[in-house]
Each structure stands twice: as structure tokens, then as C-alpha cells.
């Protein structure tokens, strides 16, 4: 069973400047909830019981948000606004936090979760990618496949060929059920992507990924890349990709952010 998840939320959010100077993109409001709450709820629906959030110096707002606010509660009670107290409810899940001291990439951030994870399979949810699903959440889809295959699985979406340079891209063989057996994976290929199947921000890993994260060389963009660790994992274990069914919004892109705000208004 997959019971633990890591949410890496330490990036600078440079695509969202200037607002990300003071508001982490994970805290961008979608209606009255911040983006990261959708991610936490998706994990909880999948049966995740403990989440490690990787933060950085400028992300204390995330920690504050998921804390009780006694001051506000008392204020609502004293001012006869008890009916609003429910709005202060925070997701009932055990959250842990650690700081990534230097922005050295996604691979480095996930590596910080080694002690938290121990010797168990675990999920990773990138909070930039909000995935709206009609039936089950994206991470539930991956965990179900993990239960069948007992192997690491990455979330996939078919993309336009001219978009692939923004993603990790897999090469592999298609099986049934939207499943791919991965042969190779490349981070943000400049040319000749191995397919048009891109990695979206949902993963389930076996703990075998940790030694590989620790021995990573600096990769694309001068950062330690999770994708490179997956490429190394392929040498020792099978890995799969699963096409996820929900609609994906990359809130690092202004257009996607505005789209999801409107979509949530309608629902």
C-alpha cells in the first residue's frame, strides 16, 4: 500500500514573477482555496496518510496555512460568527515539512524525503500541476497500477510535438489500459523526443530511487533532475508510464492558471 507522499514546493516560481516574489505559486487562490490544497486533497482521496512538503525559506505561508488559527477561531466565537468556523477546517492529514536549502532541482528535493519514506513505495505530486478528474484522481490511477505492477509508475499525457521540450519525455512500448513500459526517459529534449508522451507531475516510486538520487550528476539546467534518476532506475527495475485521464492545468503558466480559476467557478 502507498501511504506516504512527497510534495516538492521549494521552487522559486520564476515563471510567475512578479507575484511569486511574495506569494508562493502553491498558494495561488483557486476560488477560496490555495492550489496546494487541491493536491493535498487528491493525495488524501488516494489513501495517502502522511505527506512531506519540501519547502524553502520563502514558503512559510504554506506551513501557516495548514496550521490551526486559534486567534481567528476565538475571534469568530466572540463576534457571534460561529457559523463561519467550518471555513477554517484544515485537511485532516499528517503533514511534515523540510526545507531545501538550495534550489538544486527536483531530484535534490525528492532526495530530502529519504528518511521520511524509509523502505516503502511512495507518491510524488508536483503542486504546479492541478489535475481535475471526473472519476478518480490522477494519483489514485497511478497507485492502482502500482498495486498491479509493484514497480515505479509516472503519470503521462500526450502532448503536441512542439511542446515536448518543456517536459520529461518517455520512450517505450504501449501495453493495454493506457500503460507504457518505459525504455528510456529524457528531460526536456531539445530535439528528437523519444515519443510524444510527456511526464506530468504525478509519480509513484519504489524506494530504490533514493540511492540513485544521491549519486546524480548535475543535469539539464544545471539542476539535479528526477528524470535522470528514473533513467538510472530503468537499469535495475522495470518502470511504467500511465496515461492519466483528468484535465491538467500548469499553474506556472498564466493562461492555465486563469483557465482553472474559471473552471472551478463553473463547477
Of 22-30, 34-42, 121-129, 137-145, the segment contacting ligand G1P by CB under 6 A is 121-129
- How many residues interact with ligand G1P (rule CB under 6 A)? 13
Q: In Å, what is the CA distance from 262 to each residue of 78, 246, 266?
A: 35, 17, 6
- Cα(100)–Cα(78) distance, rounded to whole angstroms? 40
Shortest Cβ distance from residue 161 to ligand G1P (Å)? 15
Contact flag: residue 198 with ligand G1P (CB under 6 A): yes
For ligand G1P, the binding residue among 200, 204, 239, 260 (CB under 6 A) is: 200
Q: In Å, what is the CA distance from 74 to each residue of 10, 70, 77, 86, 92?
A: 32, 6, 5, 13, 20
Residues 81, 86, 89: CA angle, nearest 5 degrees: 135
Closest to ligand G1P by CB, 42 vs 187, is 187
Contact flag: residue 159 with ligand G1P (CB under 6 A): no
- Cα(241)–Cα(257) distance, rounded to whole angstroms? 26
Among 7, 37, 35, CA closest to 20:
35
Shortest Cβ distance from residue 200 to ligand G1P (Å)? 5
Shortest Cβ distance from residue 1 to ligand G1P (Å)? 25
Contact flag: residue 168 with ligand G1P (CB under 6 A): yes
Shortest Cβ distance from residue 153 to ligand G1P (Å)? 14
Return the number of other C-beta atoms located less than 10 Å from residue 144's C-beta: 17
Contact flag: residue 246 with ligand G1P (CB under 6 A): no
Amino acid at each position: 500500500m502507498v501511504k506516504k507522499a512527497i510534495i516538492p514546493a521549494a521552487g522559486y516560481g520564476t515563471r510567475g514573477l512578479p507575484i511569486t516574489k511574495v506569494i508562493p505559486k502553491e498558494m495561488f487562490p483557486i476560488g477560496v482555496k490555495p492550489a496546494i490544497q487541491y493536491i493535498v486533497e487528491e493525495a488524501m482521496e488516494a489513501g495517502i496518510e502522511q505527506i512531506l512538503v519540501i519547502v524553502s525559506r520563502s514558503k512559510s505561508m504554506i506551513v501557516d496555512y495548514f496550521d490551526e488559527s486559534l486567534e481567528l477561531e476565538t475571534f469568530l466565537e466572540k463576534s457571534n460568527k460561529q457559523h463561519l468556523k467550518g471555513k477554517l477546517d484544515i485537511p485532516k492529514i499528517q503533514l511534515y515539512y523540510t526545507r531545501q536549502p538550495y534550489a538544486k532541482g527536483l531530484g535534490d528535493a525528492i532526495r530530502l524525503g529519504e528518511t521520511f519514506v524509509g523502505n516503502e513505495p511512495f507518491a510524488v505530486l508536483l503542486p504546479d500541476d492541478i489535475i481535475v478528474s471526473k472519476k478518480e484522481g490522477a494519483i489514485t490511477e497511478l497507485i492502482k497500477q502500482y498495486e498491479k505492477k509493484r514497480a515505479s509508475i509516472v503519470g503521462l499525457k500526450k502532448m503536441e510535438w512542439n511542446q515536448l521540450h518543456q517536459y520529461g519525455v518517455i520512450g517505450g512500448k504501449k501495453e493495454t489500459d493506457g500503460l507504457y513500459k518505459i525504455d528510456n526517459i529524457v528531460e526536456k529534449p531539445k530535439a528528437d523526443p523519444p515519443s510524444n508522451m510527456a511526464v506530468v507531475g504525478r509519480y509513484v516510486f519504489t524506494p530504490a530511487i533514493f540511492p540513485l538520487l544521491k549519486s546524480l550528476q548535475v543535469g539539464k539546467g544545471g539542476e539535479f533532475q528526477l528524470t535522470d534518476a528514473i533513467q538510472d532506475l530503468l537499469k535495475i527495475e522495470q518502470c511504467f508510464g500511465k496515461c492519466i485521464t483528468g484535465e491538467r492545468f500548469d499553474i506556472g503558466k498564466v493562461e492555465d492558471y486563469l483557465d482553472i480559476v474559471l473552471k472551478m467557478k463553473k463547477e
